[in-house]
Amino acid sequence: LLKRIMTSAVYRQASARPDMLATRPGSAAQIDPANRLLWRMPLRRLEAEIVRDAILAASGQLDRSLGGPPLALEVQPDGMVVIQEKGANTSRAKARRSLYVLARRNYHLSMLGVFDQPAMATNCPNRQQSAVVLQSLTMLNDAFVLDAAERFAQRVSAESESAEPCKQIELAFRTALGRGPSASEVAWSSQLLETHAAEYAATGLPPDRVAEKSLVHLCHMLLNSNEFLYVP
């Protein structure tokens, strides 16, 4: 039954709708704007565990190994619940899939909780999806996300065909979003790199560090994009 559902034409539709279809008389968007007839896939965000795994994958850190002990958690003085440093003997060990994060009834990984991971103390017949300010603040300021953005930029620099911004922009988009950038996206991404490069150059940083730190901002922006966090 699951295979039949998941291979059906209805289930395999995209959630995006072309503008031309939305404005055409008699279009599905005009006839059924609430999507009660399921003419497109409802927009949905990645589940909490997949958000973390996707960030690790884009930054080149994700440990795909199977089995083994779970990742233990610890509570920081500020109340944040993070992966325990003592139990992770290497940085690679901390990058295991979220499936292996230890599930505790009294607390769970703060980042997963922000993105609606179910509480273990109660029954969970289905997952809730919210869109709250705390999620945006987490993606902008959380130490895990900031570190991933830096590693993502390092990966792009190492794997890019050249140091040309257009090549790095192309690779960054394909790595994070699974597609190449449009002409307008290349234009504003280049402008973003130039703006931050000018700011860092004014502080006296060497040119190589200027390019590296500017690229971090682009990678961080892609991790914060709706297309990265939502299923298209």
Instruction: Supply angle C-alpha 222, 226, 125, rounded to 5.
Output: 125
65-105 tens-digit pLDDT: 888 888 888 888 888 888 887 755 555 678 889 898 888 77
Report domain extents, the chain. Answer: 45-130, 142-231
Look at residue 224 and tell me whether its pLDDT is greater than 90.
yes
C-alpha span between 115 and 127 (Å, rounded): 10
| 141-147: long-range pairs with CB below 8 Å, 24+ | 142/111, 144/52, 144/55, 144/82, 144/111, 145/55, 145/220, 145/223, 146/220
Residue with the larger pLDDT of the pair 195 and 41: 195
Burial class of residue 215 (count of CB atoms within 10 Å of its CB; 0-12, 13-18, 19+) = buried
Pairing of strands 81-83, 44-45: unpaired
pLDDT tens per residue, range 131-170? 889 999 999 999 999 999 999 999 999 998 888 889 999 9
